[in-house]
């Protein structure tokens, strides 16, 4: 089980951290981006690779891994588990021909153990007790790990940073619930008993705080109110929240504009930041998942899986058409391949590759080196 961490009276766990808007946004952006990339099973045939649409895992990974989830929901849950707890576990429910379905498990209910011989087993806690499975039945996707067995939770590793953001939010909630006004001092001439002091404080807070903060105060005889002055630093706590938001985005390697922070975003840098998000944040997660699937489900065969990231690379229409024109004119793609990319139907003759007439191979046996 994940242990909690206290900072400023706030408990930081993967569950409570999701109440922080920046953490929630980062986890959602990454997990949904993983899920929207289709997972395709391919087969190597000589120098070619073909979509293995007849392989039983193709429909499972592309459409529905189990009877309760779509492929999007399945991979989204894997992304959430990885970013919240650093580990994602999938039970490979077997049947006579291989695997019948893939069932994601709650990471908190799974404990990996490595024996002295280096064999890793998984203890899964359920309603009927603890069941131990071998790696033949559990697919394990790890985040960054220091021992190769258990991935490190980003939230647990950066609990102080996230806890500070949650504490700042809690402070702001209390501040604005009192009309953004600080506490003050009730001055009473003479001495009050402990019980009288308690009653006076409670009656004041009940009558003139929260929703009643702007009501006209009526003070009894010999009672006066002295407000405590708020400093400019106290009023600028939003700067702290902005800094924490930037730090949390850095932990998850998510560009600020992806979580709604457009303060430094421009039309010229958002596209570049989105590309960096794909290469620096999303692709490492996709490669971890791909290799875990290949290791657990397709090892020893000429089949393998790969996520399609084409949709993440789609530029504006002018840039796409210019890139397609270059690819067609240089024989890199044919016209029907381009039409397929744009979700258009093929046409007769579109499978032919165009070859520029003013280009030829160099002398020396066509190796491209001229003499």
8 Å CB contact between 84 and 2: no
- 219 pLDDT exceeds 80? no
Tell me the pLDDT of the chain averaged across its residues: 82
User: What's the pTM value of the predicted model, to 2 decimals?
Assistant: 0.74
Same domain for 148 and 284? yes
Does 3 share its domain with 78?
yes
| Residue 340 forms part of a structural domain | yes
Whether 195 is covered by a domain: the verdict is: yes
User: pLDDT class for 361, splitting at 50, 70, 90?
Assistant: low
Tokens of 124: 């899964």
Q: Which is nearest to 38 in space by CA: 71, 3, 81, 5?
A: 71
Both 173 and 220 in a single domain? no
Q: What percent of the chain has pLDDT over 90?
A: 44
- 232 falls in which pLDDT band (50, 70, 90)? very low
**DSSP type of residue 237:** H
| Nearest one of 273, 280, 279, 240 to 259, comparing CA atoms | 273
The most confident of the ranges 117-131, 209-223, 333-347 is 117-131
**Range 177-184 average pLDDT:** 56
Identity of the highest mean pLDDT range in 6-10, 177-181, 288-292: 288-292
Same domain, 24 and 127: yes
Q: Do residues 191 and 325 share a domain? A: no
Q: Is 54 helix (H, G, I), strand (E, B) or coil?
A: coil
Give the total residue count for the chain. 371
User: Is the same domain home to 286 and 348?
Assistant: no
Most confident of 184-188, 226-230, 307-311, 365-369: 307-311
Domain that holds residue 117: 1-177+237-314
Q: Do 104 and 251 fall into the same domain?
A: yes
In a domain, 334, yes or no: yes
Task: Give a yes or no: residue 370 inside a domain.
Answer: no
Q: What is the pLDDT of residue 142?
A: 96
pLDDT for position 354: 87
Q: Is residue 366 part of a domain?
A: no
Q: What is the distance between the alpha carbons of residues 292 and 6, in angstroms, rounded to a whole number? A: 34
* Confidence band of 336 (pLDDT split at 50, 70, 90): very high
What is the pLDDT confidence band of residue 266, given thresholds at 50, 70 and 90? low
Which pLDDT score, from 0 to 100, does residue 368 have?
46
In tens, the pLDDT along 46-85 reads: 888 899 999 999 999 999 999 999 999 999 999 999 999 9
- What DSSP letter does each residue of 280-313 carry, written as one string? IIIHHHHHHHHHHHHHHHSTTSSEEEEE--GGGG
| Count of domains forming the chain | 3
Q: What is the pLDDT of residues 276-333, one digit of tens each?
A: 888 899 999 999 999 999 999 999 999 999 999 877 776 667 778 888 899 998 889 9
Q: Name residues whose C-beta falls within 8 Å of residue 99's C-beta, 6 or more positions apart in sequence.
A: 56, 57, 60, 92, 93, 297
Residue 268, pLDDT > 70, answer no
The verdict on 13 and 151 lying in the same domain is yes
Residue 67, token pair as written in the block = 């009877």
For residues 114 and 164, membership in a common domain is answered with: yes
Residue 44's contacts (CB-CB under 8 Å, 6 or more residues apart) are 302, 303, 304
Tens of pLDDT, residue by residue over 80-123, are 999 999 999 999 998 887 899 999 999 999 999 999 999 999 99
Over 50: is that where the pLDDT of 371 sits? no
Q: Tell me, what's the pLDDT at 364?
A: 52
Give domain status of residue 369, yes or no: no
* 148 and 197 inside one domain: no
Report helix, strand or coil for 191. Answer: coil
pLDDT tops 70 at residue 235 = no
Residues 305, 328, single domain; the answer is no
Query: Does the pLDDT of residue 41 top 50, yes or no?
Result: yes
pLDDT at 202: 74
pLDDT of residue 172: 61
Contact status, residue 39 vs residue 285, Cβ threshold 8 Å: no
Mark which of 194, 228, 262 sits at the end of a domain: 228
Q: How confident is the model at residue 177 (pLDDT cuts 50, 70, 90)?
A: low
**In this predicted structure, what is the pLDDT of residue 171?**
62
Q: Which two tokens stand for residue 251?
A: 């932990």
Domain presence at residue 368: no
What are the tens digits of pLDDT across the range 136-154? Answer: 999 999 999 999 999 999 9
Query: Domain end: 278, 296, 314, which one?
Result: 314
The predicted pLDDT at position 1 comes to: 47
Query: What pLDDT shows up at residue 343?
Result: 74
Is 326 inside any structural domain? yes
Q: Please state, for a pLDDT cut of 70, what percent of the chain lies above it.
A: 73
Q: Are residues 284 and 152 in the same domain?
A: yes
């Amino acid at each position: 089980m994940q242990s909690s961490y206290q900072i400023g009276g706030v408990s930081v766990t993967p569950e409570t951290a999701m109440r922080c808007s920046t953490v929630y946004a980062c986890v959602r952006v990454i997990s949904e981006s993983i899920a929207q990339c289709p997972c395709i099973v391919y087969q190597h045939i000589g120098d070619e690779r073909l979509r293995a649409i007849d392989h039983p895992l193709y429909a499972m990974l592309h459409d529905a891994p189990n009877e309760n989830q779509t492929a999007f929901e399945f991979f989204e849950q894997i992304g959430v588990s990885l970013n919240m707890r650093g580990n994602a576990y999938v039970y490979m429910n077997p049947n006579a021909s291989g695997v019948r379905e893939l069932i994601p498990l709650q990471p908190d209910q799974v404990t990996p153990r490595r024996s002295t011989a280096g064999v890793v087993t998984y203890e899964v806690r359920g309603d009927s007790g603890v069941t131990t499975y071998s790696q033949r039945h559990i697919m394990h996707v790890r985040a960054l790990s220091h021992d190769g067995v258990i991935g490190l939770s980003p939230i647990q590793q950066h609990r102080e940073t996230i806890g500070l953001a949650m504490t700042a939010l809690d402070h702001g909630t209390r501040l604005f619930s009192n009309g953004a006004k600080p506490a003050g001092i009730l001055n009473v001439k003479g001495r009050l008993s402990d019980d009288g002091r308690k009653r006076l404080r409670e009656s004041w807070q009940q009558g003139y705080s929260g929703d009643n903060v702007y009501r006209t105060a009526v003070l009894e005889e010999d009672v006066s109110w002295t407000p405590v002055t708020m400093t400019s630093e106290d009023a600028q706590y939003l700067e702290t929240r902005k800094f924490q938001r930037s730090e949390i985005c850095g932990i998850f390697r998510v560009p600020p504009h992806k979580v709604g922070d457009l303060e430094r975003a421009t039309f010229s840098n958002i596209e570049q930041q989105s590309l960096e998000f794909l290469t620096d944040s999303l692709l490492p997660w996709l490669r971890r998942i791909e290799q875990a699937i290949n290791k657990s489900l397709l090892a020893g065969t000429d089949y393998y899986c790969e996520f399609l990231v084409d949709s993440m690379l789609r530029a504006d229409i002018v840039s796409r058409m210019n890139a397609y024109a270059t690819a067609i004119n240089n024989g890199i793609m044919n016209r029907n391949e381009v039409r397929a990319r744009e979700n258009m139907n093929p046409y007769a003759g579109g499978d032919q590759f165009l070859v520029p007439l003013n280009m030829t191979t160099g002398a020396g046996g066509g190796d491209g080196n001229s003499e």
